[in-house]
Amino acid sequence: SSSSSSSSSSSSSSSVVSIDENPKQHLSWQWMDKYGVVPGIAASFAVMQMGFFTADQLGKGVLMIQGLDPTGSSPISGIPVAIMLGAAIKSFTIIPKEFELGIKFSTTHILRTGIVCVGAKLSAAEMISLGAAG
């Protein structure tokens, strides 16, 4: 009986759950909901959308100042604007605990996957252009 009480006390004292506790569950929505990742991912998505909107508006302003048609694509990328916006929000506000795990998941897994995909796209484009020229 002492072993069961010690195991229950050790499990109740561990209130923070690691994302990498069970890697087989990474793609399960139940896992995400169980560990509270969804609110942080939603908040990260909202910050991303605000960053892209801000970049689009700033780009239109830059084009208008230069006397160019502002209906085209923005010369300002939304990715760095979203990253800077997220960094500013984290620096100047207090992030509620309910969002922390999902934000960490977004900045580690989702952001890194996106960076790899962008790098792979650039590498593929470079190889195609070099292959056509060579």
So what's the pLDDT on residue 134?
52
So what's the pLDDT on residue 103?
92
Q: Containing H/E element for 120?
A: helix 111-133
* Helix-, strand-, coil-residue percentages of the chain, each rounded to 5: 80, 0, 20
What Å distances lie between residue 127 and 71, 114, 134, CA to CA?
A: 32, 20, 10
CA 80/CA 27 separation, integer angstroms: 27
CA 75/CA 58 separation, integer angstroms: 9
CA 134/CA 125 separation, integer angstroms: 14
So what's the pLDDT on residue 76?
92
| Residue ranges of the chain whose pLDDT lies below 50 | 1-15, 25
So what's the pLDDT on residue 9?
44
So what's the pLDDT on residue 6?
44
CA 32/CA 25 separation, integer angstroms: 9
The encoded tokens of residue 19 equal: 């994302």
Separation of first and last alpha carbons in the chain:
75
Q: What is the pLDDT of residues 111-134, one digit of tens each?
A: 888 888 887 877 777 777 777 555
Taking the model in full, what pTM does it have? 0.64
So what's the pLDDT on residue 2?
45
Radius of gyration for the chain, computed over Cα atoms and rounded to the nearest angstrom: 22
CA 101/CA 92 separation, integer angstroms: 19
So what's the pLDDT on residue 20?
54
